[in-house]
Amino acid sequence: MGRMIHANRLLIKNIGMLVGAYERAPGVLSGQDMSRVPMLPDAWVAVDGDRIKAYGLMSDVPAQETFTQVIDACHGWLFPCFCDSHTHLVYAGSREGEFRDKIAGLSYEEIARRGGGILNSSDLLNQASEDELLESASVRLRQCAAGGTGGIEIKSGYGLTVDGELKMLRVIRKLRERFPMLEIKSTFLGAHAVGREYAGRQSAYVDMLVKKMLPAVAAEGLADYVDVFCDEGFFTVEQTARILSEAARFGMRGKIHANELAVSGGVQVGVAHNAVSVDHLERITNAEIQTLAGSDTIPTMLPGASFFLGIPYGKGRQVIDAGLPLALASDYNPGSSPSGSMRFVASLGCVKMKLTPEESFNAVTVNGAAALGVSDMGVIAPGCYASMFLTRPLPSLAYLQYAYTEPLITRVILKGDSLLS
Cβ distance to ligand NIG smaller for residue 271 or 305: 305
User: Which of 50, 98, 331, 358 lies at the binding interface for Fe ion (CB under 5 A)?
Assistant: 331
Q: What is the distance between the alpha carbons of residues 89 and 147, in angstroms, rounded to a whole number? A: 15
Tell the smallest beta-carbon distance from residue 119 to ligand NIG (Å).
9
Instruction: Determine if 231 is a binding residue for Fe ion (CB under 5 A).
Output: no
Cβ distance to ligand NIG smaller for residue 335 or 373: 335
Q: What is the distance between the alpha carbons of residues 15 and 43, in angstroms, rounded to a whole number? A: 5
Instruction: Determine if 153 is a binding residue for Fe ion (CB under 5 A).
Output: no
Cβ distance to ligand NIG smaller for residue 88 or 140: 88
Per CB under 5 A, which region of 1-9, 106-114, 324-332, 372-380 contacts Fe ion? 324-332
Cβ distance to Fe ion smaller for residue 153 or 331: 331
Instruction: Determine if 50 is a binding residue for Fe ion (CB under 5 A).
Output: no
Cβ distance to ligand NIG smaller for residue 80 or 316: 316
Pick what 121 binds: Fe ion, ligand NIG, none; C-beta below 5 to 8 Å, kind-dependent: ligand NIG
Cβ distance to Fe ion smaller for residue 331 or 359: 331
Tell the smallest beta-carbon distance from residue 187 to ligand NIG (Å).
11
Q: Which residue is nearest to ligand NIG (CB)?
A: 335
Cβ distance to ligand NIG smaller for residue 257 or 343: 257
Pick what 30 binds: ligand NIG, Fe ion, none; C-beta below 5 to 8 Å, kind-dependent: none
Footprint of ligand NIG on this chain (CB under 6 A)? Answer: 88, 117-118, 121, 229, 257, 260, 305, 331, 333-336
Tell the smallest beta-carbon distance from residue 86 to ligand NIG (Å).
7
Tell the smallest beta-carbon distance from residue 384 to ligand NIG (Å).
29
Tell the smallest beta-carbon distance from residue 280 to Fe ion (Å).
7
Characterize 262-285 residue by residue with b for buried, 16 or more Cβ atoms within 10 angstroms of its Cβ, and e for exposed.
ebbbbbbbbbebebbbbbbbbbbe
Q: Is 64 exposed, middle or buried (0-12, 13-18, 19+ CB in 10 A)?
A: exposed
For residue 150, give Cα distances in angstroms to 245, 331, 382, 406: 31, 16, 17, 20
Pick what 118 binds: Fe ion, ligand NIG, none; C-beta below 5 to 8 Å, kind-dependent: ligand NIG
Tell the smallest beta-carbon distance from residue 147 to ligand NIG (Å).
19
Please give the residue ranges that form the binding site for Fe ion (CB under 5 A): 331
